[in-house]
Amino acid sequence: MTTTEIEALFALPFADLIFRAQQVHRAHFDANAIQRSTLLSVKTGGCSEDCGYCSQSARHGEVERESLLDVAEVVAAARAAKDKGATRFCMGAAWKGPKDKDLDTVTEMVSAVKGLGLETCVTLGMLKAGQAERLRDAGLDYYNHNLDTAPEFYGQVISTHSQADRFATLDRVRTAGIKVCCGGIVGMGETRKSRVSLIAELARMEPPPDSVPINNLVPMPGTPLENAPPLDPFEFVRTIAAARISMPAAFVRLSAGRQEMSDELQALCFLAGANSIFHGDKLLTAGNPEAARDEALFERLGLTAI
C-alpha cells in the first residue's frame, strides 16, 4: 500500500477502520487464535548504541551490564515458556552486533531451544557477512530487527547508526533464508505522519515481514525518552489496524507496553488484527503481563492459542 492509502486508513472513522481490519484479518487468519512468544534477555546491558528508548544503552547507564547467559539457563527458561503455552522462544542480546565468539554460544542456544520443539527467534543487533548463515544452520526460524520508526524521525531517536544499517542486516537475514520479524515503536513523540511512514516502510519490504511487532513505548528512567507523553490508546489501536490491513499475511504482535494496557484495550487490539503477543513475566527490561492474567483474558474473550 502507498503512504497516501495508509494515511487514509488512519483517517477513517474508528468503527469503519476496525471493521475493515477485521475483514482482512478473517480472510487470512482464525480471528480467535493468538500466537504466543516468550522473550528472554540472554545478554543484558552495556550496549554501545544510543537508542533513545533503551535502558540497555551504556550511554544511559540505568541497567547493570550482565554477561551472556549459559546455554543451560536459556534451555531451562525455554522449557518453562513452552510449559506455559509459548510456541516461539525469542532470545535478545544488547549488542551493536555479535562477535563471532559470542555467536558460537548463541548458535548453541538456538539449536538447543529448537530441540525442544519451539520456533526460535533472536535479536542480536546488526549482523556481519556470514553470521546469518551460521544462525540458519543452527536452526533459527526468525530474526528480529526492527525499523524502530519512520526514516524521517529516525535521527531524533538514534544517532550511532542509520536505518540503512538496519536494512543491510535484514537483507542478510532474507538472503540466508531466515524469516523476518520487523516492526517498530510508537509513542516516542512522533507524529501520525511518521507512524504512517513506518507502516508504509514495513509494507513496502519485498516480501513484507513475517512477524510485525508493534511496541508502545515504555518510558524507561534515565533514557532520553523517559518523559515522552503517552500515545492516545485509540491511536495505538489505529496503528495496529493499519499494520493488519497493510500486511495481511503477517503476524501482528502486541509487544512492549502491554503491561500498561487494560484488558479492554488489548481486546480492541485483537479486534484490530493483532494475533500475536509476548507471553511471560518480563520483556527484556520492561514488565510484561503475567501468564495467569493472559490465560484469564483469553478465557474471557474466547481466544485460543496457535
Residues with catalytic roles: 47, 51, 54, 90, 121, 181, 253
Alpha-carbon 58 to chain mean position: 22
Q: At 253, is the secondary structure helix, strand, or coil?
A: strand
User: H or E stretch including 278?
Assistant: strand 276-278
| Phi, psi torsion values for 180, nearest 5 degrees | -100, 130
Q: Mind giving me the DSSP string for 160-191?
A: SS-HHHHHHHHHHHHHTTPEEE--EEE-SS--
Give which of 55, 59, 66 is closest to 221, Cα–Cα: 55
Distance CA 284, CA 46 (A): 13
The amino acid sitting at 59 is: R
Distance CA 182, CA 84 (A): 25
Give which of 1, 85, 69, 77 is closest to 278, Cα–Cα: 85
Cell of 117: 520443539
Cell of 295: 490465560
